Amino acid sequence: MDAKARNCLLQYREALERDIRTSYIMDHMISDGGLTVLEEEKVKIEPTQQQRAAMLIKIILKKDNYSYISFYNALLHEGYRELAALLHGGVPVVSSSTGKDSAGGITSYVRTVLCEGGVPQRPVVFVTRKKLVNAIQQKLFKLNGDPGWVTVYGMAGCGKSVLAAEAVRDHTLLEDCFPGGVHWVSVGKQDKSGLLMKLQNLCTRLSQDDSFSQRLPLNIEEAKDRLRILMLRKHPRSLLILDDVWDPWVLKAFDNQCQILLTTRDKSVTDSVMGSKYVVPVESGLGKEKGLEILSLFVNMKKADLPEEAHSIIRECKVVECRHWGIFADLLHKWNQPEENTCVLRLQNICDC
């Protein structure tokens, strides 16, 4: 859902929760596809009118622009003109065709889910790696709703984190496999207290819209229990993404019957965890041809038009690592400037390390 629509709902949440009667509004929303019958059931089981309204708004907040519009139209139909007027400013402009149209095939639903889950954005210059992204997605589909692990592994800087983020940037995958959303955790190299802090932060994130706030878990064991309950009760069918895992003992804290996608340099980190396991290896470098292709993207030129220097840069390197792509482009820009020798030196430094 667009930020403007979302803000409107949040801003007038109190008035909406106080005044609306949910049953007829939901009938309208179901008839135009803005709400599912399952979601209606979730609202209906709430004991009071106000709680039902609160649940309906909570559900809409997790949905897309179409649900917002459907809710707005339902308010108008049911005579809540004043409330509809409050939401009018947030009504998003949407494409008249499919609702899945959007830049690069990324729908507003995908954008919202990834943004809420803390998934990093694409690098400014982005190179598609379709085969690898598909391989990760296939493994995620294979989890089929059951607990398990998909491990993306490879050398430092080979693009694992970018690939993991890219794999979940997909409407169908999110809708079919992880309707509960995704939660990105940058794990990194940790000691016990570092891990506890990561777990505490994750628990806080996952229990954010709780009306009561619990105290933070005091140790890893307690945090693990809290996480299990939160994932089971509040975030079923969601995906936990553990980025940059270094140590197998860290994974014990997450070995909780969840669905997990993780990136690591060390394939053996999942050796002692439970559940189905799938792996996707990422090669450490790219071929020279792909290297030239990438360089051409970075400097915004056709591959055939690249100057000889570009070929020298790629020839000089034994492997073309993703983390060096930006630097190569920078070198190419500066190649003919007076500090050319510095460029050669920088290039040699990169390629030797």
Judged by the rule CB under 6 A, the positions of this chain that interact with ligand ATP are 123, 125-127, 129, 154, 156-162, 244, 263, 265, 322-323, 325-326
Q: In the numeric block, which tokens belong to residue 83?
A: 């409330």
Residues that bind Mg ion (CB under 5 A): 160-161, 244
Beta bridge partners of 279: 151
Cβ distance to Mg ion smaller for residue 65 or 161 = 161
* Closest alpha carbon to 42 in 25, 33, 29, 54: 54
Q: How far is the CB of 130 from ligand ATP (least distance, A)?
A: 10
Q: How far is the CB of 260 from Mg ion (least distance, A)?
A: 15
Give the one entry of Mg ion, ligand ATP, none that residue 123 binds, where binding means its C-beta sits below a cut-off of 5 to 8 angstroms depending on kind: ligand ATP
Given the structure tokens 């939901």, which residue do they identify? 26
Instruction: Give the sheet arrangement for strand 259-264, strand by strand.
Output: 182-188, 239-245, 259-264, 148-153, 276-281
Give the one entry of ligand ATP, Mg ion, none that residue 1 binds, where binding means its C-beta sits below a cut-off of 5 to 8 angstroms depending on kind: none
Give the one entry of ligand ATP, Mg ion, none that residue 92 binds, where binding means its C-beta sits below a cut-off of 5 to 8 angstroms depending on kind: none
Instruction: Return all residues near 124 (Cβ < 8 A) that are at least 6 apart.
Output: none
User: How far from 155 is each of 159, 166, 168, 236, 294, CA to CA, in Å?
Assistant: 9, 18, 21, 32, 19
Give the one entry of ligand ATP, Mg ion, none that residue 326 binds, where binding means its C-beta sits below a cut-off of 5 to 8 angstroms depending on kind: ligand ATP
CB 280 within 8 A of CB 151: yes
Query: Alpha helices, DSSP H only, in 20-96?
Result: 22-31, 37-44, 49-61, 65-77, 81-88
Cβ distance to Mg ion smaller for residue 244 or 247 = 244
Cβ distance to Mg ion smaller for residue 129 or 160 = 160
Give the one entry of Mg ion, ligand ATP, none that residue 345 binds, where binding means its C-beta sits below a cut-off of 5 to 8 angstroms depending on kind: none
DSSP readout, 260-306? EEEEES-GGGGTT--SEEEEEE--SS--HHHHHHHHHHHTT--GGG-
Cβ distance to ligand ATP smaller for residue 35 or 158 = 158
For residue 298, give the amino acid letter. F
* CA dihedral sign, ordered 149, 150, 151, 157: negative
Q: How far is the CB of 293 from Mg ion (least distance, A)?
A: 23
Cβ distance to ligand ATP smaller for residue 156 or 229 = 156
Q: How far is the CB of 64 from ligand ATP (least distance, A)?
A: 27
Cβ distance to ligand ATP smaller for residue 63 or 160 = 160
Give the one entry of Mg ion, ligand ATP, none that residue 325 binds, where binding means its C-beta sits below a cut-off of 5 to 8 angstroms depending on kind: ligand ATP
Q: How far is the CB of 316 from ligand ATP (least distance, A)?
A: 19
